[in-house]
Amino acid sequence: MRIEILISSRSIDLQRPFLEYLDVGMGALASFTGIVRPEEDTRTITALEYEAYQPMAENIIRRIIEEIATQHPCQFVGVTHRIGTIPVGQAAIHIVASATHRAEAFHMLSQFMDRLKQDVPIWKTRAHDQDPLVLHPPQ
């Protein structure tokens, strides 16, 4: 299984076809994109800020993918997470998974997102609107 991880402040290229990662025998290519919504904690916002502990985040992401793949084998998994200021309507995360059958690819996407939100050291830190709102998660 090939894994590609990118954590960057650059806009995520959602048009990239990942064709170079398609193997013979692969029957499914699935993707998920997480997009910044215009509301955060009931407030209307214009953007979110993200930060990451990047070296650890990359290692944890890789480990999560490898663990999920023991139950749901995939040929390729690519994860791109954007950090910095992300305007509403733009992608914060994009994940692509290829597998022999669609079930493995769908399971990889779903379980990866669940695990990301538990363990990967990436945070939403601020929401931007007319009055910048600092996000403080519950204690």
Q: Helix, strand, or coil here: 104?
A: helix
CB of 62 to another protein, least distance (A): 12
CB of 119 to another protein, least distance (A): 7
CB of 125 to another protein, least distance (A): 5
Is residue 99 near another protein by the rule CB under 8 A?
Answer: no
The sign of the CA dihedral 115, 118, 119, 122 is: positive
Residue 123 structure tokens: 């945070």
User: Which of 59, 85, 110, 111 touches another protein (CB under 8 A)?
Assistant: 59
Per-position DSSP letters for 54-68, written without gaps between them:
HHHHHHHHHHHHHHH
Greatest CA separation for the chain: 52
Binding site for another protein (CB under 8 A): 34, 50-53, 55-57, 59, 81, 92-93, 113, 116-125, 134-139
